[in-house]
Chains A and B, each alone.
Chain A
Amino acid sequence: MRARSFAIAGAILGLYGLLELLRQTGIISAYWAQIMDLSLIITISAVGLSLIYGFTGQFSLGHAAFYGVGAYTAGFVSKTLGAGAPGFVLALVAGAVAAGLVALLIGLPILRLRSDYLGIATLGFGVIIRVLLDNSHKLSPTLGGAKGMMGVPQLASFVWIFWLAVGAIWLAANLIRSSYGRACISIREDEVAADLMGVNTTALKTLAFVVGGALAGLAGALYAHRYPFLHPSTFDYLKSLDVLLVVVLGGLGSLTGTVVTAIGWVFLLEWLRAVLPSEYMDLRGVVYALVLIVLMIARPQGLLGGSSAKGGKRRATA
């Protein structure tokens, strides 16, 4: 066990060194470096949703709202404090904490709801956040409202993004392996039975929701410091579907699947841009939808699901 941990840590350190070297020498161009950073940011957010939905079974259609709360909060803090490492760190913390708090406030009441109703409630929550962001200039002109927010210092370098992504995955992996994580999985498998076995389902569902929301907030905070313009449209319902698709494709209850799919997904979209002639770009949306439908019908447990979870046979409730 111990040797394995060291091996993994060594491999990650080596990977980081290699990538940083390739980036510094320009073998990985600024463009692919940007895409790499984006894929890691999406990974952090997807790991958050994986905790909420993949492991605890709480269906959420409003994940982009937490991402947006994190991005705007961090952007606001960073802009107010000015460029500099302390401000940046504080902004990241603020982004994650704000998203976690919002998750706590919204999660406490709505996590009582059953699966599909919960989905609708989180969808509604996402729309509400979007409307609030559109009107955010009334709270503070810095937030920009529908005109968007610019001027956030671009401080999120690869070293931050990479190690925070590693940290997020490490946190999630440990959480899942802990007794809390086991209890979360039992909620997903059968909430009534878990309750009867003495699992405090409300507390654990809320825990997963808050941690997952905070991770999305952290991802948003990084986004705000890597992309120079924040606009409410970046955080709407369709963006929630993107992350959901990643988690579902990766397989519910598979952290590895989520990480691989999140990275692969971002690179795949960029690769499609390079190979698809522009007159076929329209088909991207159609293909995207078809993949989702066919996958759900053929393998409801997800593309890579079943490798590290026993989530294949789930109780039919309908």
Chain B
Amino acid sequence: MVQFIEQVINGLQLGFVYALIALGYTMVYGIIRLINFAHGDVFMIGAFVGYFGFAVWGLPWPVAILVSMAVCAVVGMAIERLAYRPLRAKGAPNIATLITAIGVSLFIEYFTSLKFVFGPNYRVVARPFAVQVFHLGPVSISSVQILVITVVLVLVAGLQYIVYRTKVGKAMRAVSHDRDAARLMGIDVDRVISYTFAIGSALAAAAGVLFALAYPQISPFMGIMPGLKAFTAAVLGGIGSIPGALLGAVLMGQAETLTAAYITTDFRDAIAFGILILVLLLRPAGLLGKAGPEKV
């Protein structure tokens, strides 16, 4: 039982990191119906910037997270402006944008693995604080796990505030609901999309830094798998829905950790993607998503 509780905590740590990435996917999808393949790579850039922040520039780690979020917000807006907006202006089909997103993802991976950027090697992240293990009765929980869970909760609360209590958030919801109507109401749609990318990318950056603290190793290709799994989480929860992304991510974290712990690690990735295909087939709207009028 003790072991089970510890495994659940392990799963929460993983799920909460996925949640931050999944939010970016779900917001972008909600607003322009694009699976932003490059999102996992923004997460990777976030991890590197955060690492440089606390390990090289000597910033305190909370400041490093903020710096990384700011940098990635700019990166995310730049990707949208340079790669996706020209296609949107042309009214290009969805798939053209998706292939472009794959191209952007490959570009970031190969470009950052050049020697004069981040370099191709794995880097070991020296944590800026010593790991402490706390004992709550027989259950042990580490300071890293507490840190990850706390930071994610704070950021999600912040996001909730932006989306439901500010003008930008209201505009985002309007655009995601009906882009043309929003434009008619005088909302600058392009700017709202740009803000959405900024917020999503900033969250991914924070996830990257937390990931680097929890699993202390980074490389230019580290974003692929967490990115795909976070996307799966977003689909599971109902893409386009923020609470759905959180729920999906927590479930994914548990599914992955508990299968690894109690069933097998041999088919870990196969199980994650098996879930994805099943959800797409059986309940394409996800657990909390609204079934739209779109033909699926």
Contacts and interface: CB of A to CB of B under 8 A. Distances in A.
Is chain B found bound to chain A in the same assembly? yes
A41 B198 CA distance: 44
Interface in B16-36: 32-35
A124 B97 contact: no
Given A128-B274, A292-B103, A293-B104, A112 B95 contact: no
Contact of B109 (A244, A285, A314, A317): A285
B273 interface: yes
Interface in B51-97: 83, 86-88, 90-97
A125 B273 CA distance: 7
B99 interface: yes
B104 A127 contact: no
A288 B106 CA distance: 8
B115 interface: yes
Contacts of B97: 296, 318
Interface of A: 59, 109-110, 112-117, 119-121, 123-125, 127-128, 131-132, 134-135, 192, 241, 244, 248, 282-283, 285-286, 288-290, 292-293, 296-297, 300, 314-318
Given A110-B281, A318-B34, A297 B86 contact: yes
Contact of B295 (A114, A288, A290, A296): A114
Interface stretch (B133-141, B253-261, B262-270): B262-270
Given A114-B294, A114-B295, 18 more contacts: A109-B281, A116-B34, A116-B94, A116-B98, A117-B296, A121-B277, A124-B273, A131-B266, A135-B266, A286-B110, A288-B110, A289-B103, A289-B104, A289-B109, A296-B97, A296-B100, A297-B100, A318-B32
25 contacts: A112-B296, A113-B281, A113-B284, A115-B98, A125-B277, A128-B274, A241-B102, A241-B106, A285-B109, A286-B110, A289-B111, A290-B103, A292-B100, A292-B103, A296-B87, A296-B97, A297-B86, A300-B87, A314-B93, A316-B92, A317-B33, A317-B93, A318-B34, A318-B88, A318-B93
A108 B97 CA distance: 26
B107 A127 contact: no
B100 A293 contact: yes
A293 B266 CA distance: 36
Contacts of A314: 93
B93 A297 contact: no
B48 interface: no
B235 interface: yes
A115 B92 CA distance: 14
Nearest to A59: B95
- SS class, residues of chain A in contact with chain B: helix
B95 A292 contact: no
A135 B266 CA distance: 7
Contacts of B96: 296, 300
B39 to A, nearest CB: 13
Most chain A CB inside 10 Å of its own CB: which residue of B33, B86, B276: B276
B286 to A, nearest CB: 11
Secondary structure of the B contact surface, majority rule:
helix
Interface of B: 32-35, 83, 86-88, 90-100, 102-104, 106-107, 109-111, 113-115, 228, 231-232, 235, 266-267, 269-270, 273-274, 276-277, 280-281, 284, 294-296
Contact of B90 (A124, A125, A300): A300
B99 A244 contact: yes
Most chain A CB neighbours (cut-off 10 Å) among B35, B83, B99, B107:
B99
A221 B82 CA distance: 42
A59 B98 CA distance: 10
A117 B295 CA distance: 12
B113 to A, nearest CB: 8
A112 B86 CA distance: 30
Contacts of B266: 131, 134-135
A114 B296 contact: yes
Query: Which 10 A-B residue pairs are closest in the complex by CB-CB distance?
Result: A285-B110, A124-B273, A292-B103, A289-B107, A316-B91, A289-B106, A293-B103, A300-B96, A131-B270, A296-B100
Contacts of B104: 289, 293
B98 A300 contact: no
Nearest to B89: A297
Contact of B99 (A109, A112, A292): A292
A140 B296 CA distance: 39
Contacts of A132: 270
Given A121-B276, A121-B277, A286 B103 contact: no
Contacts of A286: 107, 110-111, 114
A121 B35 CA distance: 12
B277 A110 contact: yes
A113 B296 contact: yes
Nearest to A131: B270
B98 A119 contact: yes
B94 A318 contact: yes
B295 A120 contact: no
A192 B294 CA distance: 12
A293 B32 CA distance: 18
